[in-house]
Amino acid sequence: MSYITFEKVSKVYQNRWFALEDVSFEIDKGEFVFIIGPTGAGKTTLLSHIYLKEFPSSGEVQILGYSSKTIKRHEVPFLRRKIGVIFQDFKLLHDRNVLKNVTIALEVTGVPSGVARERAIEILRELGMADKISKMPNELSGGEGQKVAIARALVREPFILLADEPTGNIDPDSADEILNILKRVNDRGTTVIVATHNYAFLDKVVRKRVISLQAGKVIKDEKFYIK
Amino acid sequence: MRNFILSETLGAYKSAKGMAWISIAVSFVLILIFGVSLYLSSTVYNIFQIEKKNIEIDVYIKGDIPEPFKNRLYEIIKQFAGVEDIDFISKEDALKVFSQRYPQYSDILGVFSEVPFPESYVIQLTPYWKRPDLIRHLVTEISVLPGVDEVYAGSDWIAKLSRISMLFIGISLILLVGLFLAISYVIYQTIRLIINARKELIEILDLVGATKSTIEIPYLINGTIYGFLGGLFAAIVLKLVIMGSKSLFFFKLPEYGVIYPLLVVIGLVVGLVASYLSFEEILP
Protein backbone atom coordinates (compact mmCIF):
# COMPACT_ATOMS: atom_id res chain seq x y z
CA MET A 1 0.00 0.00 0.00
CA SER A 2 1.29 3.47 -0.90
CA TYR A 3 2.34 5.84 1.84
CA ILE A 4 1.27 8.87 -0.17
CA THR A 5 -1.29 9.13 -2.97
CA PHE A 6 -2.12 12.31 -4.86
CA GLU A 7 -5.24 11.87 -6.97
CA LYS A 8 -6.04 14.68 -9.41
CA VAL A 9 -5.00 17.25 -6.83
CA SER A 10 -5.40 20.91 -7.67
CA LYS A 11 -4.77 23.87 -5.44
CA VAL A 12 -6.20 27.17 -6.53
CA TYR A 13 -5.62 30.50 -4.82
CA GLN A 14 -8.09 33.36 -5.19
CA ASN A 15 -10.11 31.25 -7.61
CA ARG A 16 -7.61 31.73 -10.44
CA TRP A 17 -4.00 30.95 -9.47
CA PHE A 18 -3.19 27.27 -9.84
CA ALA A 19 -0.39 26.35 -7.44
CA LEU A 20 -1.00 22.69 -8.28
CA GLU A 21 -2.99 21.42 -11.23
CA ASP A 22 -4.32 17.91 -11.62
CA VAL A 23 -1.37 16.32 -9.82
CA SER A 24 -1.45 12.55 -9.45
CA PHE A 25 1.22 10.16 -8.20
CA GLU A 26 1.88 7.53 -5.56
CA ILE A 27 4.90 7.25 -3.26
CA ASP A 28 5.69 3.96 -1.55
CA LYS A 29 7.45 3.06 1.65
CA GLY A 30 11.21 3.53 1.52
CA GLU A 31 11.36 5.64 -1.63
CA PHE A 32 13.79 8.54 -2.04
CA VAL A 33 11.98 11.14 -4.11
CA PHE A 34 13.17 14.46 -5.45
CA ILE A 35 10.50 17.00 -6.29
CA ILE A 36 12.30 19.23 -8.70
CA GLY A 37 11.39 22.35 -10.54
CA PRO A 38 12.09 26.06 -10.78
CA THR A 39 11.05 28.56 -8.12
CA GLY A 40 7.26 28.91 -8.15
CA ALA A 41 6.70 25.48 -9.69
CA GLY A 42 4.62 24.37 -6.67
CA LYS A 43 7.16 22.24 -4.79
CA THR A 44 6.48 23.77 -1.37
CA THR A 45 2.72 23.68 -1.96
CA LEU A 46 2.99 20.00 -2.84
CA LEU A 47 4.92 19.23 0.36
CA SER A 48 2.41 21.28 2.37
CA HIS A 49 -0.33 18.95 1.14
CA ILE A 50 1.56 15.95 2.51
CA TYR A 51 1.67 17.22 6.10
CA LEU A 52 -1.75 18.80 5.56
CA LYS A 53 -0.74 22.33 6.19
CA GLU A 54 -2.75 22.89 3.02
CA PHE A 55 -5.79 21.04 1.72
CA PRO A 56 -6.52 20.51 -1.97
CA SER A 57 -9.07 22.68 -3.73
CA SER A 58 -10.05 19.55 -5.64
CA GLY A 59 -8.86 15.97 -5.76
CA GLU A 60 -7.67 13.92 -2.82
CA VAL A 61 -4.44 13.35 -0.93
CA GLN A 62 -4.01 10.15 1.07
CA ILE A 63 -1.18 9.98 3.55
CA LEU A 64 -0.49 6.98 5.80
CA GLY A 65 -4.14 5.99 5.75
CA TYR A 66 -5.51 9.49 6.31
CA SER A 67 -7.47 11.21 3.56
CA SER A 68 -7.55 14.96 3.01
CA LYS A 69 -11.28 14.56 2.36
CA THR A 70 -12.24 12.83 5.58
CA ILE A 71 -9.57 13.72 8.13
CA LYS A 72 -10.86 15.68 11.12
CA ARG A 73 -9.00 18.81 12.27
CA HIS A 74 -8.10 17.18 15.58
CA GLU A 75 -6.56 14.20 13.75
CA VAL A 76 -4.05 16.33 11.82
CA PRO A 77 -1.53 16.54 14.72
CA PHE A 78 -1.51 12.75 14.93
CA LEU A 79 -0.66 12.52 11.23
CA ARG A 80 2.08 15.12 11.67
CA ARG A 81 3.67 13.04 14.41
CA LYS A 82 4.39 10.45 11.72
CA ILE A 83 5.98 12.97 9.36
CA GLY A 84 9.20 14.91 9.87
CA VAL A 85 9.64 18.22 8.05
CA ILE A 86 12.75 20.31 7.50
CA PHE A 87 12.99 23.69 5.81
CA GLN A 88 15.53 25.89 4.10
CA ASP A 89 15.45 28.33 7.05
CA PHE A 90 15.68 25.48 9.62
CA LYS A 91 12.88 26.98 11.76
CA LEU A 92 14.80 26.64 15.01
CA LEU A 93 13.69 28.29 18.22
CA HIS A 94 16.24 30.92 19.09
CA ASP A 95 15.24 31.23 22.74
CA ARG A 96 16.38 27.70 23.63
CA ASN A 97 19.45 25.54 23.12
CA VAL A 98 20.00 22.71 20.65
CA LEU A 99 18.83 19.98 23.01
CA LYS A 100 15.59 21.78 23.84
CA ASN A 101 14.97 22.45 20.15
CA VAL A 102 14.95 18.70 19.65
CA THR A 103 13.18 17.54 22.82
CA ILE A 104 10.25 19.88 22.15
CA ALA A 105 9.08 17.57 19.35
CA LEU A 106 8.67 14.77 21.88
CA GLU A 107 7.50 16.73 24.88
CA VAL A 108 4.46 18.13 23.07
CA THR A 109 3.32 14.61 22.34
CA GLY A 110 3.47 13.63 26.00
CA VAL A 111 6.85 11.84 26.09
CA PRO A 112 8.35 12.28 29.59
CA SER A 113 11.16 14.84 29.73
CA GLY A 114 13.81 12.29 30.76
CA VAL A 115 13.01 9.94 27.88
CA ALA A 116 12.81 12.87 25.44
CA ARG A 117 16.23 14.08 26.58
CA GLU A 118 17.79 10.63 26.16
CA ARG A 119 16.35 10.17 22.68
CA ALA A 120 17.33 13.67 21.60
CA ILE A 121 20.93 13.19 22.78
CA GLU A 122 21.10 9.87 20.95
CA ILE A 123 19.94 11.34 17.64
CA LEU A 124 22.17 14.42 18.01
CA ARG A 125 25.13 12.11 18.66
CA GLU A 126 24.25 10.17 15.53
CA LEU A 127 24.32 13.41 13.54
CA GLY A 128 27.66 14.42 15.05
CA MET A 129 26.15 17.16 17.19
CA ALA A 130 26.73 15.65 20.64
CA ASP A 131 29.13 18.41 21.65
CA LYS A 132 26.71 21.14 20.62
CA ILE A 133 23.69 20.25 22.71
CA SER A 134 23.94 23.26 24.98
CA LYS A 135 24.72 25.74 22.21
CA MET A 136 22.13 28.30 21.15
CA PRO A 137 21.01 28.29 17.49
CA ASN A 138 22.79 31.57 16.77
CA GLU A 139 26.07 29.91 17.76
CA LEU A 140 25.73 27.27 15.04
CA SER A 141 26.81 27.24 11.40
CA GLY A 142 24.21 26.79 8.66
CA GLY A 143 24.98 23.09 8.30
CA GLU A 144 24.79 22.56 12.05
CA GLY A 145 21.48 24.42 12.21
CA GLN A 146 20.03 22.13 9.55
CA LYS A 147 21.33 19.09 11.42
CA VAL A 148 19.42 20.23 14.50
CA ALA A 149 16.31 20.62 12.37
CA ILE A 150 16.85 17.10 11.01
CA ALA A 151 17.33 15.79 14.56
CA ARG A 152 14.03 17.41 15.57
CA ALA A 153 12.32 15.81 12.58
CA LEU A 154 13.84 12.38 13.16
CA VAL A 155 13.55 12.14 16.92
CA ARG A 156 9.96 10.89 16.60
CA GLU A 157 11.09 8.20 14.13
CA PRO A 158 8.78 9.37 11.34
CA PHE A 159 7.57 7.24 8.45
CA ILE A 160 8.11 10.10 6.04
CA LEU A 161 10.74 12.85 6.04
CA LEU A 162 9.97 15.96 3.99
CA ALA A 163 12.80 18.35 3.14
CA ASP A 164 11.96 21.68 1.53
CA GLU A 165 15.11 23.08 -0.08
CA PRO A 166 17.17 21.68 2.81
CA THR A 167 20.49 22.93 1.51
CA GLY A 168 19.39 26.31 0.25
CA ASN A 169 21.04 28.23 3.07
CA ILE A 170 24.24 26.27 3.57
CA ASP A 171 27.67 25.90 2.02
CA PRO A 172 28.33 23.09 -0.52
CA ASP A 173 30.27 20.84 1.90
CA SER A 174 27.54 21.05 4.51
CA ALA A 175 24.97 20.48 1.76
CA ASP A 176 26.65 17.20 0.84
CA GLU A 177 26.74 16.21 4.48
CA ILE A 178 23.01 16.92 4.83
CA LEU A 179 22.25 14.91 1.71
CA ASN A 180 24.28 11.99 3.09
CA ILE A 181 22.26 12.14 6.28
CA LEU A 182 19.04 12.03 4.26
CA LYS A 183 20.36 9.00 2.35
CA ARG A 184 21.19 7.23 5.62
CA VAL A 185 17.72 7.97 6.92
CA ASN A 186 16.25 6.55 3.72
CA ASP A 187 18.43 3.44 3.98
CA ARG A 188 16.75 2.70 7.30
CA GLY A 189 13.37 2.54 5.54
CA THR A 190 12.07 6.07 5.96
CA THR A 191 10.47 7.59 2.89
CA VAL A 192 12.39 10.77 2.07
CA ILE A 193 10.99 13.50 -0.16
CA VAL A 194 13.27 16.38 -1.04
CA ALA A 195 12.00 19.47 -2.82
CA THR A 196 14.78 21.32 -4.60
CA HIS A 197 15.55 23.45 -7.60
CA ASN A 198 19.16 22.25 -7.54
CA TYR A 199 19.53 19.67 -10.34
CA ALA A 200 23.12 18.99 -9.32
CA PHE A 201 21.78 17.17 -6.30
CA LEU A 202 20.20 14.44 -8.36
CA ASP A 203 23.56 12.92 -9.25
CA LYS A 204 24.46 12.44 -5.63
CA VAL A 205 21.74 9.90 -4.88
CA VAL A 206 21.90 6.60 -6.69
CA ARG A 207 18.49 5.05 -6.19
CA LYS A 208 15.95 7.78 -6.47
CA ARG A 209 12.78 8.91 -8.13
CA VAL A 210 12.40 12.36 -9.63
CA ILE A 211 9.08 14.15 -9.99
CA SER A 212 9.44 17.27 -12.10
CA LEU A 213 7.03 20.13 -11.57
CA GLN A 214 6.41 23.13 -13.72
CA ALA A 215 3.71 25.73 -13.14
CA GLY A 216 1.97 23.39 -10.72
CA LYS A 217 1.85 20.43 -13.10
CA VAL A 218 3.78 17.18 -13.02
CA ILE A 219 5.65 17.21 -16.29
CA LYS A 220 7.75 14.11 -15.64
CA ASP A 221 7.78 11.30 -13.09
CA GLU A 222 10.91 9.13 -13.46
CA LYS A 223 10.99 6.18 -11.09
CA PHE A 224 14.56 5.21 -11.93
CA TYR A 225 16.08 8.49 -12.89
CA ILE A 226 19.19 8.32 -15.03
CA LYS A 227 20.96 11.45 -16.08
CA MET B 1 3.96 17.36 29.13
CA ARG B 2 3.52 19.11 32.49
CA ASN B 3 7.08 20.45 32.29
CA PHE B 4 6.46 21.65 28.76
CA ILE B 5 3.24 23.44 29.72
CA LEU B 6 4.93 25.05 32.72
CA SER B 7 7.97 26.24 30.82
CA GLU B 8 5.87 27.54 27.92
CA THR B 9 3.53 29.34 30.32
CA LEU B 10 6.53 31.03 31.89
CA GLY B 11 8.06 31.73 28.47
CA ALA B 12 4.82 33.30 27.27
CA TYR B 13 4.75 35.56 30.35
CA LYS B 14 8.38 36.59 29.84
CA SER B 15 7.78 37.50 26.21
CA ALA B 16 5.42 40.35 27.21
CA LYS B 17 6.16 40.94 30.88
CA GLY B 18 5.32 44.66 30.85
CA MET B 19 1.99 44.18 29.12
CA ALA B 20 1.19 41.30 31.48
CA TRP B 21 1.56 43.59 34.51
CA ILE B 22 -0.50 46.28 32.82
CA SER B 23 -3.24 43.67 32.37
CA ILE B 24 -2.99 42.70 36.02
CA ALA B 25 -3.06 46.35 37.14
CA VAL B 26 -6.09 47.19 34.97
CA SER B 27 -7.89 44.05 36.15
CA PHE B 28 -7.08 44.98 39.75
CA VAL B 29 -8.45 48.55 39.48
CA LEU B 30 -11.61 47.53 37.63
CA ILE B 31 -12.36 44.57 39.88
CA LEU B 32 -11.77 46.76 42.93
CA ILE B 33 -14.29 49.32 41.63
CA PHE B 34 -16.75 46.50 41.07
CA GLY B 35 -15.95 45.12 44.54
CA VAL B 36 -16.74 48.48 46.18
CA SER B 37 -19.99 48.73 44.24
CA LEU B 38 -20.88 45.16 45.18
CA TYR B 39 -20.05 45.92 48.81
CA LEU B 40 -22.32 48.98 48.85
CA SER B 41 -25.11 47.03 47.16
CA SER B 42 -24.81 44.27 49.74
CA THR B 43 -24.90 46.78 52.59
CA VAL B 44 -27.99 48.60 51.30
CA TYR B 45 -29.65 45.31 50.48
CA ASN B 46 -28.91 43.97 53.98
CA ILE B 47 -30.36 47.09 55.60
CA PHE B 48 -33.41 46.68 53.38
CA GLN B 49 -33.79 43.05 54.41
CA ILE B 50 -33.46 43.85 58.12
CA GLU B 51 -35.98 46.66 57.86
CA LYS B 52 -38.28 44.44 55.86
CA LYS B 53 -38.11 41.77 58.56
CA ASN B 54 -39.06 44.29 61.25
CA ILE B 55 -41.85 45.82 59.28
CA GLU B 56 -45.25 45.96 60.99
CA ILE B 57 -48.44 47.96 60.65
CA ASP B 58 -49.70 50.09 63.53
CA VAL B 59 -53.47 50.54 63.53
CA TYR B 60 -54.52 53.33 65.95
CA ILE B 61 -58.06 53.00 67.27
CA LYS B 62 -60.39 55.89 67.92
CA GLY B 63 -60.71 56.53 71.68
CA ASP B 64 -64.50 56.46 71.90
CA ILE B 65 -65.39 53.06 70.52
CA PRO B 66 -66.91 50.43 72.79
CA GLU B 67 -65.14 47.19 73.74
CA PRO B 68 -67.23 44.75 71.59
CA PHE B 69 -66.56 46.96 68.62
CA LYS B 70 -62.80 46.72 69.23
CA ASN B 71 -63.06 42.94 69.27
CA ARG B 72 -65.04 42.99 66.04
CA LEU B 73 -62.35 45.20 64.48
CA TYR B 74 -59.73 42.71 65.65
CA GLU B 75 -61.61 39.86 63.97
CA ILE B 76 -62.03 41.81 60.71
CA ILE B 77 -58.32 42.72 60.49
CA LYS B 78 -57.34 39.14 61.23
CA GLN B 79 -59.28 38.04 58.12
CA PHE B 80 -57.13 40.19 55.79
CA ALA B 81 -54.71 38.33 53.52
CA GLY B 82 -51.12 38.73 54.63
CA VAL B 83 -51.89 39.21 58.32
CA GLU B 84 -49.89 36.72 60.35
CA ASP B 85 -50.48 37.95 63.88
CA ILE B 86 -52.07 40.85 65.73
CA ASP B 87 -51.09 42.26 69.12
CA PHE B 88 -53.28 44.61 71.05
CA ILE B 89 -51.36 47.53 72.61
CA SER B 90 -53.28 49.19 75.42
CA LYS B 91 -52.67 52.79 76.46
CA GLU B 92 -50.60 51.52 79.38
CA ASP B 93 -48.45 49.31 77.14
CA ALA B 94 -47.87 52.27 74.83
CA LEU B 95 -46.79 54.39 77.77
CA LYS B 96 -44.39 51.69 78.91
CA VAL B 97 -42.82 51.46 75.46
CA PHE B 98 -42.53 55.25 75.21
CA SER B 99 -40.86 55.50 78.62
CA GLN B 100 -38.39 52.77 77.70
CA ARG B 101 -37.50 54.36 74.35
CA TYR B 102 -37.42 57.99 75.52
CA PRO B 103 -36.68 58.04 79.28
CA GLN B 104 -35.68 61.72 79.08
CA TYR B 105 -39.30 62.69 78.30
CA SER B 106 -41.05 60.56 80.92
CA ASP B 107 -41.45 63.61 83.24
CA ILE B 108 -43.43 65.49 80.62
CA LEU B 109 -46.04 62.74 80.63
CA GLY B 110 -46.79 63.60 84.28
CA VAL B 111 -48.60 66.77 83.26
CA PHE B 112 -51.35 64.77 81.54
CA SER B 113 -54.32 63.66 83.67
CA GLU B 114 -54.66 60.48 81.64
CA VAL B 115 -52.38 58.52 79.28
CA PRO B 116 -52.19 60.51 76.00
CA PHE B 117 -51.47 57.53 73.75
CA PRO B 118 -54.21 55.82 71.74
CA GLU B 119 -54.88 52.10 71.84
CA SER B 120 -53.62 50.25 68.82
CA TYR B 121 -53.24 46.95 67.03
CA VAL B 122 -49.80 45.97 65.82
CA ILE B 123 -50.05 43.72 62.77
CA GLN B 124 -47.28 41.25 61.89
CA LEU B 125 -47.27 40.33 58.23
CA THR B 126 -46.45 37.09 56.45
CA PRO B 127 -43.06 37.27 54.64
CA TYR B 128 -44.65 37.52 51.17
CA TRP B 129 -46.72 40.53 52.19
CA LYS B 130 -43.70 42.51 53.40
CA ARG B 131 -43.59 44.29 50.05
CA PRO B 132 -44.09 48.04 49.83
CA ASP B 133 -46.88 47.77 47.22
CA LEU B 134 -48.81 45.12 49.16
CA ILE B 135 -48.35 46.98 52.43
CA ARG B 136 -49.71 50.16 50.85
CA HIS B 137 -52.72 48.23 49.62
CA LEU B 138 -53.35 46.76 53.09
CA VAL B 139 -52.96 50.14 54.77
CA THR B 140 -55.59 51.64 52.44
CA GLU B 141 -58.00 48.79 53.15
CA ILE B 142 -57.57 48.96 56.93
CA SER B 143 -57.71 52.76 57.19
CA VAL B 144 -61.29 52.86 55.86
CA LEU B 145 -62.56 50.45 58.52
CA PRO B 146 -64.92 51.99 61.09
CA GLY B 147 -63.21 52.76 64.41
CA VAL B 148 -59.74 53.14 62.84
CA ASP B 149 -58.17 56.49 63.51
CA GLU B 150 -54.84 56.19 61.71
CA VAL B 151 -52.69 53.50 60.13
CA TYR B 152 -48.92 53.74 59.99
CA ALA B 153 -46.61 51.29 58.22
CA GLY B 154 -43.48 53.19 57.21
CA SER B 155 -43.83 51.55 53.78
CA ASP B 156 -42.66 54.70 51.99
CA TRP B 157 -39.32 54.44 53.70
CA ILE B 158 -39.11 50.74 52.83
CA ALA B 159 -40.04 51.53 49.23
CA LYS B 160 -37.28 54.14 49.05
CA LEU B 161 -34.78 51.70 50.53
CA SER B 162 -35.91 49.05 48.07
CA ARG B 163 -35.40 51.47 45.18
CA ILE B 164 -31.92 52.44 46.43
CA SER B 165 -31.03 48.79 46.86
CA MET B 166 -32.19 47.99 43.31
CA LEU B 167 -30.27 51.00 42.00
CA PHE B 168 -27.05 49.77 43.59
CA ILE B 169 -27.60 46.26 42.30
CA GLY B 170 -28.28 47.71 38.83
CA ILE B 171 -25.08 49.79 38.98
CA SER B 172 -23.13 46.71 40.06
CA LEU B 173 -24.51 44.69 37.17
CA ILE B 174 -23.69 47.44 34.66
CA LEU B 175 -20.22 47.68 36.18
CA LEU B 176 -19.88 43.91 35.92
CA VAL B 177 -20.63 44.02 32.19
CA GLY B 178 -18.34 47.02 31.68
CA LEU B 179 -15.61 45.42 33.73
CA PHE B 180 -15.97 42.17 31.82
CA LEU B 181 -15.54 43.99 28.52
CA ALA B 182 -12.69 46.22 29.67
CA ILE B 183 -10.64 43.47 31.31
CA SER B 184 -11.36 41.13 28.41
CA TYR B 185 -10.07 43.76 26.01
CA VAL B 186 -6.82 44.34 27.91
CA ILE B 187 -6.10 40.65 28.47
CA TYR B 188 -7.13 39.91 24.90
CA GLN B 189 -4.59 42.44 23.62
CA THR B 190 -1.88 41.10 25.92
CA ILE B 191 -2.40 37.52 24.81
CA ARG B 192 -2.50 38.71 21.21
CA LEU B 193 0.86 40.40 21.72
CA ILE B 194 2.31 37.26 23.31
CA ILE B 195 0.99 35.04 20.53
CA ASN B 196 2.47 37.35 17.90
CA ALA B 197 5.81 37.32 19.72
CA ARG B 198 5.71 33.52 19.76
CA LYS B 199 4.25 32.84 16.35
CA GLU B 200 7.42 31.02 15.30
CA LEU B 201 7.17 28.68 18.27
CA ILE B 202 3.48 28.04 17.65
CA GLU B 203 4.22 27.26 14.01
CA ILE B 204 6.85 24.73 15.04
CA LEU B 205 4.63 23.14 17.67
CA ASP B 206 1.94 22.80 15.04
CA LEU B 207 4.47 21.26 12.69
CA VAL B 208 5.72 18.64 15.14
CA GLY B 209 2.22 17.43 15.94
CA ALA B 210 1.19 19.31 19.05
CA THR B 211 -2.56 19.28 19.51
CA LYS B 212 -4.45 22.55 19.56
CA SER B 213 -5.04 22.29 23.30
CA THR B 214 -1.34 21.68 23.99
CA ILE B 215 -0.47 24.83 22.07
CA GLU B 216 -3.30 26.82 23.60
CA ILE B 217 -3.02 25.91 27.29
CA PRO B 218 0.02 28.11 28.17
CA TYR B 219 -1.80 31.19 26.80
CA LEU B 220 -5.02 30.32 28.59
CA ILE B 221 -3.08 29.86 31.82
CA ASN B 222 -1.41 33.24 31.32
CA GLY B 223 -4.69 35.08 30.72
CA THR B 224 -6.35 33.28 33.61
CA ILE B 225 -3.49 34.15 35.96
CA TYR B 226 -3.62 37.83 34.97
CA GLY B 227 -7.33 37.98 35.72
CA PHE B 228 -6.90 35.90 38.88
CA LEU B 229 -4.14 38.16 40.22
CA GLY B 230 -6.20 41.27 39.42
CA GLY B 231 -9.12 39.76 41.36
CA LEU B 232 -6.92 38.58 44.21
CA PHE B 233 -5.26 41.98 44.70
CA ALA B 234 -8.66 43.70 44.56
CA ALA B 235 -10.03 41.27 47.18
CA ILE B 236 -7.00 41.83 49.45
CA VAL B 237 -7.26 45.64 49.22
CA LEU B 238 -11.01 45.59 49.87
CA LYS B 239 -10.52 43.25 52.84
CA LEU B 240 -7.78 45.49 54.27
CA VAL B 241 -9.95 48.62 53.89
CA ILE B 242 -12.90 46.93 55.63
CA MET B 243 -10.67 45.51 58.35
CA GLY B 244 -9.11 48.89 58.94
CA SER B 245 -12.42 50.78 58.64
CA LYS B 246 -12.57 51.52 62.35
CA SER B 247 -9.35 53.51 62.27
CA LEU B 248 -9.98 54.89 58.77
CA PHE B 249 -13.62 55.99 59.07
CA PHE B 250 -14.16 55.76 62.87
CA PHE B 251 -16.80 53.03 62.51
CA LYS B 252 -16.61 49.36 61.74
CA LEU B 253 -17.92 48.39 58.32
CA PRO B 254 -19.84 45.13 58.09
CA GLU B 255 -18.08 42.25 56.37
CA TYR B 256 -19.47 40.00 53.64
CA GLY B 257 -17.12 37.05 53.32
CA VAL B 258 -18.59 35.95 49.99
CA ILE B 259 -17.43 39.09 48.15
CA TYR B 260 -13.70 38.26 48.32
CA PRO B 261 -13.80 34.84 46.65
CA LEU B 262 -16.35 36.22 44.20
CA LEU B 263 -13.91 38.93 43.04
CA VAL B 264 -11.17 36.35 42.60
CA VAL B 265 -13.48 34.02 40.64
CA ILE B 266 -14.69 36.90 38.44
CA GLY B 267 -11.08 37.85 37.62
CA LEU B 268 -10.23 34.26 36.87
CA VAL B 269 -13.23 33.68 34.61
CA VAL B 270 -12.76 36.95 32.71
CA GLY B 271 -9.07 36.15 32.21
CA LEU B 272 -9.85 32.67 30.95
CA VAL B 273 -12.59 33.79 28.56
CA ALA B 274 -10.53 36.71 27.21
CA SER B 275 -7.44 34.61 26.53
CA TYR B 276 -9.58 31.89 24.92
CA LEU B 277 -11.24 34.42 22.62
CA SER B 278 -7.89 35.95 21.78
CA PHE B 279 -6.37 32.59 20.86
CA GLU B 280 -9.42 31.53 18.86
CA GLU B 281 -9.37 34.74 16.87
CA ILE B 282 -5.67 34.77 16.09
CA LEU B 283 -5.15 31.04 15.63
CA PRO B 284 -8.53 29.48 14.94
Listed by start position, the domains of chain A span: 1-82+158-227, 92-156
Contact A104 B3 (CB under 8 A): no
Min Cα distance A192 → chain B (Å) is: 17
Predicted local distance difference test score (pLDDT) of residue B147: 86
More confident residue, B263 or A168: B263
Residues of chain B positioned with their CB less than 8 A from the CB of A109: 208-210
Alpha helices in chain A (DSSP H): 43-50, 76-80, 98-107, 113-126, 142-154, 172-187
A227 at interface of B, judged by CB pairs closer than 8 A: no
Query: A78-125: per-residue pLDDT in tens?
Result: 999 999 999 988 899 988 999 999 999 999 888 998 999 999 999 999
Min Cα distance A1 → chain B (Å) is: 24
Residue B245 one-letter amino acid = S
Nearest to B209 among A73, A91, A109 (CB): A109
Predicted local distance difference test score (pLDDT) of residue B158: 75
Residue B212 one-letter amino acid = K
Nearest to A110 among B1, B200, B205 (CB): B1
Query: A199-208: per-residue pLDDT in tens?
Result: 888 887 777 8
Give the ipTM: 0.86
Alpha helices in chain B (DSSP H): 2-15, 17-54, 67-79, 91-101, 132-143, 155-197, 199-207, 212-243, 245-249, 259-282
Query: A177-196: per-residue pLDDT in tens?
Result: 888 899 999 999 999 999 99
Each residue of B110-143: b (16+ CB within 10 Å) or e?
A: eeeeeeebbbbbebebeeebbbbebbebbbeebe
Q: Closest chain A residue to B198 measured between Cα atoms?
A: A93
CATH superfamily of A1-82+158-227: P-loop containing nucleotide triphosphate hydrolases (3.40.50.300)
A115 at interface of B, judged by CB pairs closer than 8 A: no
Bridge-partner residues for A20, per DSSP? A11
Q: Residue A37 — pLDDT band, cuts 50, 70, 90?
A: very high
Residues of chain B with pLDDT under 50: none
Q: CA-CA distance, A136 to A101, in Å (whole number)? A: 9
Nearest to A85 among B3, B205, B207 (CB): B207
More confident residue, B109 or A136: A136
Predicted local distance difference test score (pLDDT) of residue B155: 65
Residues of chain A positioned with their CB less than 8 A from the CB of B197: none
Torsions phi, psi for B151 (to 5 deg)? -125, 130
Residues of chain B positioned with their CB less than 8 A from the CB of A138: none
Q: CA-CA distance, B142 to B154, in Å (whole number)? A: 15
More confident residue, A6 or B155: A6
Query: B123-169: per-residue pLDDT in tens?
Result: 988 888 888 788 888 888 888 888 888 888 866 777 787 788 888 88
Predicted local distance difference test score (pLDDT) of residue A226: 55
pLDDT of residue A227 exceeding 70: no
The domain segmentation of chain B, as residue ranges, is 2-42+172-282, 56-153
Q: CA-CA distance, A98 to A117, in Å (whole number)? A: 11
Residues of chain A positioned with their CB less than 8 A from the CB of B215: 108
pLDDT of residue A170 exceeding 90: no
> What string of H, E and C letters represents the secondary structure of B117-148?
CCCEEEEEECHHHCCHHHHHHHHHHHHCCCCE
Q: CA-CA distance, B88 to B126, in Å (whole number)? A: 18
Q: Interface of chain B against chain A, CB under 8 Å?
A: 1, 3-4, 11, 200-201, 203-212, 214-215
Nearest to B3 among A80, A85, A107 (CB): A107
Topology classification of domain B56-153 = Alpha-Beta Plaits (3.30.70)
